[in-house]
Amino acid sequence: MNAASRYNRQIILPEIGDAGQYKLVKAKVLIIGAGGLGVAILPYLAAAGIGQIGIIDDDVIEVSNLQRQVIYKTSAVGKYKVDEAKAMIAELNPLVKVNAIAEKLSGNNAISLFEKYDIIVDATDNLQIKYLINDACQVTNKPMVYGSIFRFQGQVSVFNYQNGPTYRCLYPDENSSSANCTDAGVIGISVGIIGMLQANEVIKMILGIGEVLSGKILVYNGLNNEQQKYDFEKNTTFLLDKKAFEEKYSIIENTIEEISIGAILNEIDNQETLFLDVRNEEELPKINLKNSIQIPLMNLENEIERLNPNQTIYIFCQSGIRSKMAGELLQKKNFKNVKSISGGALALSQILKNKVAD
Amino acid sequence: MIEIKYFGAVAEKTKCAFEKVASSEVSLQELLQNLEEKYQFESLSFSVAVNQKIVSKTGNYTLQTSDVVALLPPFAGG
Domain spans of chain A, in order of start? 3-242, 255-357
Are A171 and B45 inside 8 Å of each other by CB?
yes
Q: What is the mean pLDDT of chain A?
A: 92
Domain assignments of chain B as residue spans, ordered by start: 2-72
Q: What is the pLDDT of residue A163?
A: 92
Which residues in chain B are closer than 8 Å to A150, comparing Cβ atoms?
7-9, 73, 75-77
Q: Is pLDDT above 90 for A86?
A: yes
Q: Does residue A33 contact residue A105 with C-beta atoms inside 8 Å?
A: no
pLDDT tens for chain B, residues 1 to 78: 999 999 999 999 999 999 999 877 889 999 999 999 999 998 889 999 999 999 998 888 899 989 999 999 999 998
pTM of the model: 0.77
Query: Helix axis angle, A188-207 relative to A17-26, nearest 10°?
Result: 110
* B12, B16, B47, B75: best to mutate for the A interface, most A CBs within 10 A: B75
Instruction: Please give the CATH number for the structural domain made up of A3-242.
Output: 3.40.50.720
Q: Residue A60: pLDDT above 90?
A: yes
Residue B32: its H or E element: helix B28-39
> Model confidence at A356, in pLDDT bands (50, 70, 90)?
low
HSE on the CB side for A52, CA within 13 Å?
Answer: 11
**Minimal Cβ distance to B76: which of A123, A148, A219:** A148
Q: Report pLDDT for A332.
A: 82
Q: What angle do CA A246, A249, A252 make, to 5 degrees?
A: 120
A99-103, A190-194, A251-255, A278-282: the lowest-pLDDT one: A251-255
Rounded Cα distance, A321 and A343, in Å: 9
> What is the DSSP code (8-state) at residue A2?
-
The answer to whether A272 faces chain B, any CB pair under 8 Å, is no
CATH for B2-72 is 3.10.20.30
- Residue A151, pLDDT above cutoff 90: yes
Say what the pLDDT of residue A249 is. Answer: 85
**pLDDT band for position A236 (50/70/90)?**
confident
Contact A178 B76 (CB under 8 A): yes
Report how far residue A73's alpha carbon sits from residue A88's, in angstroms, rounded to the nearest whole number.
10
pLDDT of residue A251: 55
Rg of chain B over all Cα atoms, to the nearest angstrom: 12
CATH architecture classification, A255-357: 3-Layer(aba) Sandwich (3.40)
A164 touches chain B (CB under 8 A): no
